[in-house]
Structure 1
């Protein structure tokens, strides 16, 4: 009898007061792998103590195999039963005894995870080429797991936010890889695309990874603005006064906002080419016949073709009708459409200093980022597109010339240039993408050291070939199925990521995937606030504030995708 008591004491030890000593389960433990495949992802049966309500799509799961760790993203949550009949006659779960019997045995949870990376013993993340065995144990990712994948902040890597429910660590973008291919920032209206873009640009400027030419449609980037909650937020010029230059099409607007600008941009009619109008075909309702007429007028009247067309002298019109094949109705229709140019004060017939050369000097010689404010012209999509096409085409020509002359010598190459455009689908619509300079730049990748940062709320309207060339996609909430498909097209594991993307919060959450990150990641993006300014100016990495920052996923966090 005494022997039996001793055996019981070994199996069920007690403390000094005679109370049973309960072992504490691993709070990160989720369950075991019960099925799946490399292409479709894995199913993990949850252990009975794990509540499905504590889980959320977008979090990270690590499966500890025999030889490596598998880094996964939770993409779906499912309820299952061992006996289908229980669904027809559910037990009374208010009875604690029945609840303990059924939970985790007859009724249990299943989570679906997408395999993202494998990590060998040397802690080097690698593409996944195999899967773990049956009943391999799965855990919530820890701070160490995330750091092994995303590394630490340094001169190249920039903290863009924290993974969901793991706020003691951070997600670091590889800025060098970010700027060497085009970037897309997508999200429905009101999801904070401009603030997210400002965070990315701050990182690029602070780390000196590229100079930026920002076509600032609504004066969001250069100077101080007021956020939706009524707070003043700094512009890039105020954060980096020695590295950012503001120029403007509307000096009155800049003065009214007390924005310090370097010069006013003026574009002469004589420098506008028919090629500059091709990207405006849909917004200005220009037919192919009108574009052909513009090329003909340019060959006949040389650089004065727009001025003479707008003057509309009878003898000029008669000469064109007699000596060209332009129909009279076509020329009059083109004239009516170009008349709006006369209302834009930044266009002039007078000789002016070459604004494009001054911009090139700032970008290439002084290596400054340039913000072009549009002021009142930001409400005119035609003006925005004309100016962006005009300036970008000429800067691209200069970059091509400089790169070709450098003969591969990096010391003679111009600095990497990132061109930022809003309403990108208007420039990159499938009907015009092949005809605009922006379509050319997107397809060239990094050949001439010019890439794009496109900001848009309708990625489905961007040419599919151009979308395939966007290296890094930073996507906030999208609720249109076509837009979600466009963003995920060509991305490995897109089926699972679709559920994640459709369930992001409306503010300060995004999924980042592509060239600048080793795997897709859902982040709570950094706030663009005083703490951010201090960290950027100090050049130090930012840690998440809050005493309740959690060491691992799934420990009572309240943020949910």
Structure 2
């Protein structure tokens, strides 16, 4: 080992807590979260620095500044002998070192495994080098590996395995202004370029599809459609959707696709009463999937005469109150619900023509099942009401399509295997709170949909407000800086050694660093995030020729598949 790599040696510690290392280099050479390796025998221990501590052989040497009273050379010797720095390190993985004859014959070398023992005293500790990074996180050259950032000390590339990434739901977190959307763009670009899965993006704030101005720098932010023309299709709500001067394909929602649970999801936005559940159940029981159209057509307060003189009246059967009377529902409860639902009745993207709405939805599903990608921009419909309603309805229909295709695949060997699908959800806490867990399809997907080849990519600044059962299902977590203790605890929930990781997460540099965590990465690691700029795109797309045949299908082939 090059002596320049050496930073210290092991002086103590236990398996259940951290190891103590005496530094032989300057303290500012390492920092919290540094990736270090213990050269033990017969194991290498891949570890993270969790703390730095100043110490002395005698408190008097630490209290008195003797440097100015004695010869500088003697003072420097005393500093190295009587005053020292210890670091605490957390071993995460261990790997059996290969003997020289095994390396020369090319025999298979063992893989890293969780730590089960500790190194002996005075084992040498060094900074991780490129070989260590590749042994744990994989090589940049391997297909499916995506560089998410670099180590902070040596600037070495760190990859995530996208094939593993899409097998379970994942999350990208960070406080407002920490660069979550830039990081999300890069991950999505990697998934699309590597053809690991189809991607469906709920673009609530119209950030992902098209080029736009950066409000902080004034520069241009590249949209995904600019780089993936023919692979990524942009849709918008309504008859003639436009975003940033770009025309989008139209998406409509059929009235018959709206279920009572979709309305209950909007309890806060519509200020619904406690009686709403009973009223909706009565409507659905009597009218089925046509309940919404029927209820919209009722006229509040309409009365008819019931005697020849015209003096006696009652509510008409086609009035809100008349239906409530016949259904055994309190008229005021029905009337209040009808009034509140006017916010939805007036949405021009909700139409009675089921066939027209089904055509646009079928087009989206066909795109996704045939290896393409879709971004749904909400355009001028940026309210929480629009987002919650549309996201829940569309995701439910997409889930139904994937469940059917998976069941067909499992039942008939000649059926094609469903393509993996990643559904990207911004502002995830609005859809996945504890209160909404039973009313949205997203909790179901997080828990059960891996077996149906559907996973979530949740993007949020308040992970503490996401239902803990959903958080526990997130395999890979990438987090920028978080300032709230509850949010930090939520991101670290279910992970071992979370007390050690808490400090690393709290001390990340805003807009510059992220912490990689969870099942999708071999070990946690703080990294300096890549920049979303022209250099990112040049690096990503330079090996475009390596794309798969499905990725290279031309537009004519796609139109043939879709029946155009």
Q: The TM-score by the shorter chain falls in which range?
A: 0.7 to 0.9
Residues 117-128 of structure 1: pairs in structure 2 closer than 5 A? 117-120=93-96, 121=98, 122=109, 124-128=111-115
Mapped to 1, the partners of 2:361 and 2:68 lie a distance apart of: 74
Deviations 1:334-376 (A, max 9, x none): 2232111144321234553413222111111x32110000011
Give secondary structure in 1 for the equivalent of 2:65: coil
Mapped to 2, the partners of 1:133 and 1:199 lie a distance apart of: 42
**Counterpart for residue 562 of structure 2:** none
1:30 equivalent to 2:26? Answer no
Give secondary structure in 2 for the equivalent of 1:248: strand
Mapped to 1, the partners of 2:442 and 2:114 lie a distance apart of: 32
Contact 1:92-1:98 at 8 Å conserved across structures? no
**Counterpart for residue 322 of structure 1:** 325
The Cα shift of 1:224 comes to 1.1
**Counterpart for residue 113 of structure 1:** 89
Deviations 1:171-212 (A, max 9, x none): 111111100100100000001111101111111111111001
Deviations 1:245-269 (A, max 9, x none): 10111576625x13352x2111132
**Counterpart for residue 71 of structure 1:** 46
**Counterpart for residue 525 of structure 2:** 521
**Counterpart for residue 65 of structure 2:** 91
Give secondary structure in 2 for the equivalent of 1:434: coil
The answer for unaligned runs of 5 or more in structure 2 is 99-108, 303-315, 546-564
**Counterpart for residue 361 of structure 1:** 366
Mapped to 2, the partners of 1:127 and 1:251 lie a distance apart of: 55
Deviations 1:54-101 (A, max 9, x none): 3211211111001111110111111122223445x4223445356414
Give secondary structure in 2 for the equivalent of 1:412: coil
| TM-score after normalising by structure 2 | 0.86
Contact 1:475-1:510 at 8 Å conserved across structures? yes
| 489 and 303 in structure 1: CA distance in 2 versus 1, 3 angstrom threshold | closer
Contact 2:324-2:330 at 8 Å conserved across structures? yes
> In the alignment, which of 350, 375, 378 is matched to residue 374 of structure 1?
378
1:384 equivalent to 2:390? Answer no
| 410 and 147 in structure 1: CA distance in 2 versus 1, 3 angstrom threshold | farther
**Counterpart for residue 36 of structure 2:** 61
Give secondary structure in 1 for the equivalent of 2:64: coil
Contact 2:238-2:252 at 8 Å conserved across structures? no
Mapped to 2, the partners of 1:91 and 1:274 lie a distance apart of: 75
> In the alignment, which of 205, 210, 222 is matched to residue 192 of structure 2?
205
Give secondary structure in 1 for the equivalent of 2:348: coil
> In the alignment, which of 251, 267, 280 is matched to residue 253 of structure 2?
267
The Cα shift of 1:284 comes to 3.1
User: Which consecutive aligned stretches of 4+ in structure 1 deviate over 6 angstroms post-superposition?
Assistant: none
Mapped to 2, the partners of 1:363 and 1:540 lie a distance apart of: 21
Contact 1:510-1:523 at 8 Å conserved across structures? yes
| TM-score after normalising by structure 1 | 0.86
Deviations 1:460-505 (A, max 9, x none): 1111111111000010101111111111112122111111111111
Deviations 1:92-135 (A, max 9, x none): 34453564143232221111111111122226222111110112
**Counterpart for residue 308 of structure 2:** none
**Counterpart for residue 156 of structure 1:** 144
| 97 and 217 in structure 1: CA distance in 2 versus 1, 3 angstrom threshold | same
**Counterpart for residue 3 of structure 1:** none
| 226 and 328 in structure 1: CA distance in 2 versus 1, 3 angstrom threshold | same
1:183 equivalent to 2:170? Answer yes
| 301 and 112 in structure 1: CA distance in 2 versus 1, 3 angstrom threshold | same
1:216 equivalent to 2:190? Answer no
The structure, 1 or 2, with the larger RCO (C-alpha pairs under 8 Å, 6+ apart) is 1
Give secondary structure in 2 for the equivalent of 1:173: strand
1:100 equivalent to 2:76? Answer yes
> In the alignment, which of 260, 265, 290 is matched to residue 276 of structure 2?
290
1:45 equivalent to 2:31? Answer no
Aligned residue pair count: 510
**Counterpart for residue 248 of structure 1:** 236
Mapped to 1, the partners of 2:271 and 2:68 lie a distance apart of: 67
Contact 1:180-1:445 at 8 Å conserved across structures? no
**Counterpart for residue 81 of structure 1:** 56
Mapped to 1, the partners of 2:177 and 2:451 lie a distance apart of: 35
**Counterpart for residue 458 of structure 2:** 454
> In the alignment, which of 270, 286, 306 is matched to residue 300 of structure 1?
286
Deviations 1:308-334 (A, max 9, x none): 434441323233232223222322222
Mapped to 2, the partners of 1:243 and 1:136 lie a distance apart of: 52
Deviations 1:518-555 (A, max 9, x none): 111211122121122122222279xxxxxxxxxxxxxx
RMSD across aligned positions (CA): 2.2
> In the alignment, which of 514, 519, 529 is matched to residue 510 of structure 1?
514
